[in-house]
Amino acid sequence: MSPTILMAAPNGARKTRSDHPNLPVTVPQIIDEAIACQKVGAAMAHLHVRDQDQQHVLDAGLYTEVLSGIKESIGSDLLVQITTEAVGRFSPQEQANCVKSVKPEAVSVALKEMMPEGGEAYGSEFYHWAQEASVHIQHILYDEKDFNRFLHLSKKGLIPAAQPSLLFVLGRYASDNLGKVEELALFLKIKQDPETLDLGPWFVCAFGHDEARCASEAIADGGHARVGFENNSHLKSGKEAISTAEIIAQTREDVLAMGKTIATAQEARKLLGIT
């Protein structure tokens, strides 16, 4: 049985300290929270960086500071994933330029942002560059249409098909569109179709208070979980968490209660095909 990868998502692109006083926004805060999450079970951290106004930015310099600070503190014991989230401001070229400057171990990329309809050629060049540069891409998929389009582009060779890693997103940022566990079945129906490509590890993230239930369902089905303040700041009890590390610790206990094991960063790299 493969170990379960827990990925911490402590800040995201939209929330600020006005949403939660412990949301990490400065480089030292982001480093400290990432390390705290690793200490309680996270093999991976999905991180955003912020400017002085707490706004999400694709800043290669800030990302490099965060990566260096984590490495100085805990070496390779945490697999750090940066993001290219566009938030309606950044073009595919700006997203790609950030990744090419940082050259991280891993990055999450939304298919619809990097390869919008009609923009397949540029996105394809980036995905193939990442494969050559050994930058592991996790493809963010928001719905069944996204998933089917990803499979279509992979079959055409526009996206490298070598052990892709997928993130299924349940719900949205809007408070009236919270993640529901029933949404997972729509993704799994496509994944389990005999005609679907042989896919690598898959993860789930879910917006809102049902995050824990969605994560548990995904893990029970053989998936992995991304949890934290980016999507939700409440524990199963309904109490607001102190930090993303507290949510990681809760998820870790749920995984162990299922009789499963928790992946280390080294095991996560092996499962994801990262050398």
Mean pLDDT within 167-195: 87
> Residue 110, Cα to own-chain centre: how many angstroms?
10
Q: Extract long-range pairs of 187-194: CB within 8 Å, 24+ residues apart.
A: 187/141, 187/144, 187/147, 188/221, 190/144, 190/147, 190/148, 190/151, 191/147
**Per-residue pLDDT for 1 more than 90?**
no
**Per-residue pLDDT for 122 more than 90?**
no
- Residue 175 counted as domain residue: yes
Return the pLDDT at 31: 98
Tell me if 214 sits within 8 A of 179, measured CB to CB: yes
Number of structural domains, the chain? 1
CATH assignment at residue 158? 3.20.20.70
- Residue 248 counted as domain residue: yes
Return the pLDDT at 38: 98
Return the pLDDT at 64: 98
- Residue 125 counted as domain residue: yes
For 204, which DSSP code? E
**Per-residue pLDDT for 176 more than 70?**
no
* Structural domain that includes position 91: 6-272
**Per-residue pLDDT for 237 more than 70?**
yes
* The pair of three-digit structure tokens given for residue 227, joined into one six-digit string: 């949890």
- Residue 263 counted as domain residue: yes
**Per-residue pLDDT for 20 more than 80?**
yes
pLDDT-derived band at 95, boundaries 50, 70, 90: very high
Tell me if 200 sits within 8 A of 163, measured CB to CB: yes
Can you give the length of the chain in residues?
275
- Residue 1 counted as domain residue: no
Between 196 and 51, the higher pLDDT residue = 51
**Per-residue pLDDT for 120 more than 70?**
yes
- Residue 198 counted as domain residue: yes
**Per-residue pLDDT for 253 more than 70?**
yes
Q: Tokens 């069944």 correspond to what residue?
A: 144
pLDDT-derived band at 162, boundaries 50, 70, 90: confident
- Residue 59 counted as domain residue: yes
Return the pLDDT at 127: 96
Mean pLDDT within 218-235: 97
Q: Which helix (H) or strand (E) holds 30?
A: helix 27-39
Mean pLDDT within 247-268: 98
Return the pLDDT at 187: 95
Return the pLDDT at 118: 86
Return the pLDDT at 141: 97
Report if pTM > 0.85: yes
